């Protein structure tokens, strides 16, 4: 019943926290809020994991935060339950749900059905089910009627009861479990407590349990220290958790609060406070010395207010000056010659024989010959104390200061002292340090903070950690103590550059270096908290002080050499460029000359081709002229014979005029065709051009080959050179005639088209519509394998036949068509004939 009353009073005390009158957390409280990285201030629950992490579930967001004292991790919370989150020593998270357990795996919460938990809630159980994750996959579940062990790695996943029925009857309703200091398990019930015989990690069904009715030491400490003696912030408290070391956690509406034992704890039974005079004369062996008899000349230097008998027998006297007796020789240190302190309050001896003394605001050290000021700025010093571990304690009006390993550390009310004014500091026989103030005594508790802070360096502003020579190098840094035991602003830092000696610890946030030598440098900084814990892994920054390029000897030499080489090659390149320009000019002149020669040769070739065509035509035209001459001759003879017959004379004269006009037309056509052709594009009627071309063929050609022309009506005019069109058509007609034997038949036609046919040998320029002139024969045709080559210069199929050719006819036709921006197509079938088409863009004249 006594246990139940304690639990009830503890719960009632926590329920009243939200109604306290305080509005701000006391200095002993450490607060975690959004500014510290939490997703929100409101915290619904808090638990302590076996690894020491703190797991917080938030009230308004479905998130939880895992804190390790230095940083935090935000994870999703389970959607199906609002209960506490528990953590195993390996960091595995578990939660109780209405149907069993939830395990956090790879970013998701996985459900494990547990029938006993489901039955508990179906029966109306509403209390929080205590869980204790032991290791990976193994969880202890404390229900009111039993302790279950759930193993997620077993195939059945059935929980195993661990408490025998007999023990359950003795314990009553189970409500709490806790890990003992020796690693075993304590369970509390309504009627008593049970402790496992086996360690927690090896606990199994059938193990023995020891029962007791008295509160175990671990739980008794928790009950006693759960409520702090100072005020609790006036916040809405949703949950509490207690660390094994006594730190109290509160999940509140305004953040997560932590109160841990401080460095200085109030002394429950204060020892007798030593008088200042006696404290000043305590020797190294902690016995009260009687002031020995002094020589008259030394006594006259008094009054002496403090003295110390050193372990080697030396006597030290303190007053307005300092007197030192060493081997029966006395020496006076006066302030007038700057050899010693004045107004000495107390002495202390270090373990290595050094002597310390205190004046009202300084601590001095004697090195065997002279007094040196060790530290000042204490305000007013009240006493000194040298502890057995070698630490020098200084009681001042500004708190307690101590020097350990050459490092000075200050403590004040924020560390638990009852007052900032400390009159004395002593060490008792057990080694406990006690500080005396007007408000009471405080005991030093170094175990309250045993974790060192962590140090970090803020990234410098310059890119790649590089600084210019001569520019100041400023490096900013900071630190964080575990669980904020020492506030960030109270941390002290020591730094060094390039493996030099560490600088004294100071409260600073940055350091600056001026006139650093060029090259690579290494900067290290470490933090120290108010308990003297020093970061064992100093933060390190590597940076470079770069010389300006004009001061870098090697770079200047390289650049100079590169400049010389560049100038040399620039000269070579310029000379080559001039030579190249001259050669280009020569080549261009030669190209221009060759082009002129080629154009002249092309014109001659074209004219020669026309002359060849004329030669072909001449054979037929000669016969026509013979016929004309025969008619003229015959008509002349008839006129001579019938001079007196005007009718016959008139008839024959008309006949002569007719044949003369016919011959004149033939001559004009030949003269026009034989002139050197130029690409003067004029509007042409295609049908008339074809008819004029046919007149050039003569009667003899027309007797050997039947030429039929069908002209399409209302053809649009084309802008082209008439001579070029006639030359192309004559080439097509002569090739068609030579492709046939026996009776030759050639069909010429014209057509208006709007769509270009496929398989163009030469594409015409773009136009809305076109006029096509087709020349069709019914000869041997062209084999498919040689069809792509018929427009190549000097390609001919007549080389080995009786009709020898030059291979230039169709190539000239292709060249003339290109100049006309016309198109060419060839359709051929072996032994059936071929059709050559000239496609002219319709439109106005083009130059």
> pLDDT tens-digit profile of 633-685?
767 877 888 888 888 788 778 767 766 765 665 566 555 555 545 567 889 99
> By C-alpha distance, which of 368, 323, 380, 326 is closest to 347?
323
* Range 531-536, long-range pairs (CB < 8 A, 24+ positions): 531/263, 531/409, 531/446, 531/448, 531/449, 531/450, 531/485, 531/486, 532/404, 532/407, 532/409, 533/449, 533/450, 533/451, 533/452, 533/453, 534/452, 534/494, 535/452, 535/453, 535/454, 535/455, 535/479, 536/452
Provide the pLDDT confidence category of residue 737 given band limits of 50, 70 and 90: confident
> By C-alpha distance, which of 717, 748, 723 is closest to 813?
723
Share of the chain above pLDDT 70, in %: 83
Distant-in-sequence, close-in-space partners of 301: CB < 8 Å, separation ≥ 6:
319, 320, 321, 323, 332
pLDDT at residue number 157: 76
pLDDT at residue number 282: 41
Mean pLDDT comparison of 90-94, 282-286, 304-308, highest-scoring range = 90-94
Residue 536 contacts residue 479 (beta carbons within 8 Å): no
pLDDT at residue number 435: 96
703: preceding bond cis by omega (within 30 degrees): no
pLDDT at residue number 789: 83
pLDDT at residue number 224: 40
Distant-in-sequence, close-in-space partners of 598: CB < 8 Å, separation ≥ 6:
none
Cα 497 vs. chain centroid, distance in angstroms? 31
What is the token pair recorded at 170? Answer: 């003795």
Q: Give the span between the Cα atoms of 480 and 528, in whole angstroms.
A: 10
pLDDT higher at 449 or 741: 449
Angle between helices 809-819 and 722-738 (to 10 degrees): 150
pLDDT at residue number 18: 37
Mean pLDDT comparison of 13-22, 238-247, 494-503, 738-747, highest-scoring range = 494-503
pLDDT at residue number 699: 64
pLDDT at residue number 278: 37
Domains in the chain (CATH in brackets) are 2-158+225-256 (no CATH), 266-446 (2.130.10.10), 454-547 (2.60.40.10), 584-676 (no CATH), 677-841 (3.30.565.10)
What is the token pair recorded at 465? Answer: 């950690």
Could you identify the residue written with the tokens 């002080």?
545
Could you identify the residue written with the tokens 């101590």?
402
* Count of other CB atoms within 10 angstroms of residue 814: 18
The answer, as to whether pTM is greater than 0.75, is no
Over residues 177-211, the pLDDT tens digits come to 888 888 899 999 888 899 999 998 889 888 889 88
pLDDT higher at 31 or 642: 31
Q: How far is CA 142 from CA 190, 242, 333, 775, in A?
A: 14, 18, 74, 108
Over residues 791-846, the pLDDT tens digits come to 877 677 764 444 555 566 788 888 888 888 999 999 999 888 999 999 999 975 44
pLDDT of 619 above 60: no
Over residues 791-806, the pLDDT tens digits come to 877 677 764 444 555 5
Share of the chain above pLDDT 90, in %: 44
Q: How far is CA 32 from CA 29, 35, 56, 84, 225, in A?
A: 10, 8, 11, 18, 22
Mapped onto helix, strand or coil, the DSSP state of residue 629 is: helix
Over residues 8-17, the pLDDT tens digits come to 334 344 444 4
pLDDT at residue number 337: 54
DSSP for 649-690 reads HHHHHHHHHHHHHHHHHHHHHHHHHHSPP----EEE-HHHHH
> By C-alpha distance, which of 294, 327, 328, 288 is closest to 308?
288
Over residues 462-490, the pLDDT tens digits come to 666 888 888 889 999 999 999 999 999 99
Average pLDDT, the chain: 83
Distant-in-sequence, close-in-space partners of 574: CB < 8 Å, separation ≥ 6:
none
> By C-alpha distance, which of 84, 114, 86 is closest to 99?
114
Q: Give the span between the Cα atoms of 44 and 255, in whole angstroms.
A: 10
Distant-in-sequence, close-in-space partners of 251: CB < 8 Å, separation ≥ 6:
43, 44, 45, 46, 56, 57, 237, 238, 239, 240, 241
pLDDT at residue number 487: 92
What is the token pair recorded at 609? Answer: 């081709």
pLDDT at residue number 626: 65
Over residues 255-279, the pLDDT tens digits come to 999 998 999 999 876 555 554 433 3
- 403-430 mean pLDDT: 92
- 46-75 mean pLDDT: 94
Over residues 523-538, the pLDDT tens digits come to 999 999 999 999 999 9
Give me the phi and psi of 701, to 5 degrees please: -60, -35
pLDDT of 288 above 60: no
pLDDT at residue number 363: 94
pLDDT at residue number 621: 58
Hey, which bits of 114-236 come out as E strands?
A: 131-135, 138-143, 146-151, 160-161, 174-179, 185-189, 193-196, 209-212
Using the CB atoms, write b or e for 318-341: b if 16+ within 10 Å: bbebbbbbeeeeeeebeeeeeebb
pLDDT at residue number 645: 85
What is the token pair recorded at 366? Answer: 């004697």
């Amino acid at each position: 019943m006594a246990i139940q009353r304690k639990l009830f009073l503890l719960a009632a005390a926590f329920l009243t926290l939200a109604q306290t009158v305080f509005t701000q957390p006391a200095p002993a409280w450490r607060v975690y809020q959004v500014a510290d990285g939490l997703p929100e201030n409101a915290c619904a629950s808090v638990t302590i994991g076996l690894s020491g992490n703190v797991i917080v579930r938030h009230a308004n967001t479905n998130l939880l935060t895992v804190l390790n004292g230095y940083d935090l991790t935000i994870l999703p919370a389970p959607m199906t339950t609002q209960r506490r989150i528990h953590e195993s020593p390996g960091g595995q998270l578990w939660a109780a749900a209405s149907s069993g357990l939830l395990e956090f795996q790879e970013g998701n919460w996985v459900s494990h059905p547990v029938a006993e938990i489901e039955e508990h809630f179906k029966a109306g159980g509403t209390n929080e089910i205590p869980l204790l994750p032991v290791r990976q996959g193994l969880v202890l579940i404390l229900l009111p009627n039993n302790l279950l062990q759930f193993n997620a790695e077993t195939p059945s996943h059935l929980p195993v009861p661990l408490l025998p029925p007999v023990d359950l009857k003795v314990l009553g309703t189970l409500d709490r479990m806790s890990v003992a200091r020796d690693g075993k398990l304590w369970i509390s019930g309504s009627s008593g407590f049970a402790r496992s015989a086996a360690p927690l990690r090896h606990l199994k069904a059938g193990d023995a349990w020891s029962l007791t009715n008295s509160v175990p030491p671990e739980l008794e400490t928790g009950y006693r220290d759960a409520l702090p003696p100072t005020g609790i912030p006036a916040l809405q408290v949703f949950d509490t958790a207690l660390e094994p070391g006594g730190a109290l956690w509160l999940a509140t509406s305004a953040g997560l609060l932590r109160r841990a034992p401080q460095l200085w704890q109030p002394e429950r039974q204060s020892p007798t406070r030593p008088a200042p005079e006696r404290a000043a004369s305590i020797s190294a062996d902690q016995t009260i010395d009687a002031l020995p008899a002094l020589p008259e000349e030394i006594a006259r230097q008094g009054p002496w207010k403090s003295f110390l008998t050193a372990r080697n027998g030396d006597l030290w006297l303190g007053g307005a000056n300092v007197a030192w007796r060493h081997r029966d020789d006395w020496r006076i240190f006066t302030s007038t010659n700057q050899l010693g302190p004045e107004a000495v309050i107390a002495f202390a001896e270090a373990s290595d024989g050094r002597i310390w003394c205190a004046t009202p605001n300084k601590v001095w050290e004697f090195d065997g010959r002279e007094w040196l000021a060790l530290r000042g700025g204490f305000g007013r010093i009240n006493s000194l104390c040298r502890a057995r571990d070698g630490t020098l304690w200084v009681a001042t009006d500004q708190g307690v200061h101590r020097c350990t390993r050459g490092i000075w550390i200050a403590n004040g009310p924020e560390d638990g002292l009852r007052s900032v004014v400390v009159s004395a500091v002593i060490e008792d026989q057990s080694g406990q340090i006690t500080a005396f103030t007007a408000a009471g005594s405080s005991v030093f508790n170094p175990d309250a903070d045993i974790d060192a802070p962590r140090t970090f360096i803020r990234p410098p502003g310059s890119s790649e950690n590089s600084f210019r020579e001569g520019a100041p190098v400023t490096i900013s840094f900071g630190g964080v103590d575990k669980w904020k035991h020492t506030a960030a602003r109270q941390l002290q830092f020591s730094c060094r550059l390039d493996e030099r000696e560490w600088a004294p610890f100071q409260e600073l946030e940055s350091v600056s270096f001026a006139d650093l030598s060029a090259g690579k440098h290494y900067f290290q900084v470490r933090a120290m908290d108010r308990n003297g814990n020093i970061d064992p892994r100093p933060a390190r920054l590597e940076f470079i002080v770069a010389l300006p390029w004009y001061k870098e000897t090697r770079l200047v030499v390289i650049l100079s050499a590169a400049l010389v080489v560049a100038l040399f090659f620039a000269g070579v390149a310029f000379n080559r460029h001039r030579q190249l320009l001259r050669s280009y000019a020569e080549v261009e002149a030669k190209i221009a000359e060759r082009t002129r020669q080629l154009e002249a040769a092309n014109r001659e070739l074209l004219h020669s081709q026309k002359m060849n065509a004329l030669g072909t035509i001449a054979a037929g035209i000669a016969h026509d002229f013979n016929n004309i001459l025969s008619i003229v001759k015959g008509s002349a003879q008839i006129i001579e014979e019938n001079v007196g017959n005007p009718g016959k004379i008139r008839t024959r004269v008309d006949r002569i005029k007719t044949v003369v006009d016919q011959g004149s037309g033939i001559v004009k056509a030949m003269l026009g065709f034989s002139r050197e052709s130029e690409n003067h594009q004029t509007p042409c009627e295609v049908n008339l051009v074809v008819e004029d071309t046919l007149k050039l063929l003569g009667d003899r050609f027309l007797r050997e080959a039947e030429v039929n022309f069908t002209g399409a009506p209302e053809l649009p005019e084309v802008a082209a050179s008439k001579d070029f069109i006639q030359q192309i058509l004559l080439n097509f007609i002569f090739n068609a005639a030579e492709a046939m034997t026996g009776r030759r038949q050639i069909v010429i036609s014209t057509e208006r088209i709007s769509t270009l046919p496929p398989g163009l040998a030469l594409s015409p320029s773009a136009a809305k519509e076109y006029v096509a002139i087709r020349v069709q024969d019914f000869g041997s045709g062209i084999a498919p394998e040689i069809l792509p080559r018929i427009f190549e210069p000097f390609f001919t199929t007549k080389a080995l036949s009786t009709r020898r050719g030059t291979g230039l006819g169709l190539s000239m036709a292709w060249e003339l068509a290109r100049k006309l921006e016309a198109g060419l197509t060839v359709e051929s079938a072996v032994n059936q004939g071929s059709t050559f088409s000239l496609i002219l863009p319709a439109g106005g004249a083009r130059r």
